[in-house]
Amino acid sequence: MRPYLDLLQDILDNGVRKDDRTGTGTLSVFGRQYRHDLAEGFPLLTTKKLHLKSIINELIWFLSGDTNTAWLKANGVSIWDEWATETGDLGPIYGAQWTNWPTSDGASINQIDYVVECLRNNPDSRRILFHGWNVEYLPDEKVSPQENAAAGRMALPPCHLLYQFYVAAGRLSAQLYIRSSDSFLGLPYNTASLAVLTMMLAQQCDLEPGEIVITTGDSHLYLNHLDQVREQLSREPRALPRLRILRRPDSIYDYRFEDFELLDYHPHAHIAAPVAV
């Protein structure tokens, strides 16, 4: 994942100091892109250890349409706790928009079903995508995430907001647009999650995994992450692991964490950093 490490160095070298919603402050650049061929290994960072269980279970949770943290907590994932109400509610965030986009007639659209249908029956389409930027439900920046969720709005607006898929020569590639990218903590999770989703869709649609492409808008490092970033950049990357899917479920919604096996993952030690809330 040398392109990811190059992005971190780019932000350190060229980032502009900017204020942000959390009050922490960032170094920021705008408009960056990197790509990875999944045939070359699973893109899980080796310069610091990542928690694959959180990444995969969060994706399964998104695909279920759930927007309450109860299932996540029951499955060992706490990454959404800071933004949830006391009862675990996050408002109509990612999963709700992905699988239950509300329509004016009171019905809803499952965008994931649409993607699977296109991949199976119209793979040359240039419209194979889904997104979560539903303007009606974006949060009010003047109040807390918990207040937004209690009012029926998203606790946070989607950062990874548009996924597009492309089929060529029997291979499925995917591009993700991230409007706001916490490049030290969030971006490695987003990259691995996109890779898992691409592998799942490829399996469901009888395709081979191809490339993943990450495109970012505001790519930033929080000022209280800079020492951690320098520590990570001082480490030599190791060989990427492999990820195997052990069974083919009946649908994209039926995967479990136990369906995945990570092989040959030998990362450097975890690097702790505070989450900007």
> Which residues does the annotation mark as catalytic?
159
Q: Any binding-site annotation on 239?
A: no
Would you say 256 is a known binding-site residue? Answer: no
**221 assigned ligand-binding residue:** yes
CB neighbours (10 Å) of residue 33? 13
Q: Is the CB of residue 28 less than 8 Å from the CB of residue 10?
A: no
- 276 labelled binding-site residue: yes
Question: Is 171 annotated as ligand-binding?
Answer: no
Annotated binding-site residue? 193: no
21 labeled binding residue: yes
Q: Does 270 belong to an annotated binding site? A: no
Question: Is position 131 annotated in a ligand binding site?
Answer: no
- Is 182 marked as a binding-site residue? yes
The reply, when asked if residue 163 is annotated as ligand binding, is no
Residues annotated as binding site?
21, 51, 126-127, 179-182, 190, 220-222, 276
Binding-site entries for dUMP = 21, 126-127, 179-182, 190, 220-222
